Chains A and B, each alone.
Chain A
């Protein structure tokens, strides 16, 4: 039993440890207060490693190619950012770069460091700092929005010319799986418990 305040309504309550695989909700506002995944360190670590590999593939291979009367063009994620930049849309290019490349990459890297460091408690306070940054990056990492955007672009362009999906497009789609699974299998409380702190 731990006494906590609900982050969404500030209700003070005794938090029972949820059963493995279960969750505890706030009785007043219904917010999920705690989860208790079966394996809160190893499983997310495996998923983060998988995400890292797929992320690299998604970023170095072509998303799709286009051919019109013998001419061919193709693009990558970074290629899209560069083209927008060169067309004068520099701020939009930066926003796309952040949501499509920087935030997902930073999230993977930060989670990797946090999960590795937490394996040998007590973890230093810097681990908490990294976890906080990972949580800042998470809403801006928009892999699943990007794959839908790529599909819509593909269908729109298919009206004008022959388009063929590239490996990168499948990789962006595949990236959605580990990304959503990380949040389900990971329990930040497990990390905070392992972080040493001075004053109680």
Chain B
């Protein structure tokens, strides 16, 4: 045993083995995704840009201006100005500061409406040239959702919104998360 080990050591067996391992890998297919030309499909639950949703039939805004998302946001990137009272209440202005947003998803979890009125879309390429470009106002947040409606990959909210969906349809509707369950 000691002898064979000595022989192996003399003939650089460990180096040879390592080199054969690297040689084997030379013939493997590269795992690189060549980004601008090839695109990766975000998984169903991907947390991309936040968008405000509309009812797919009537086109009504779903947001009821309850300010839950504003309160839940750890970085205070959401600013809402509400108008109306009681059941008439809606968000008159809705700003999301994407320079601050950390895509944690707590705002979507806090949203009490069904379907959710603020969701993470699958968009991830939205840089801006100016800082002001990245503070999204209400119209642009709805635009984000318009783009998402045309998205063809799997979506968690697809069924709820009556959108064409590839895989997510089989999943049962998620229950309202415990934290936002009405306690009052």
**B is a partner of A:** no
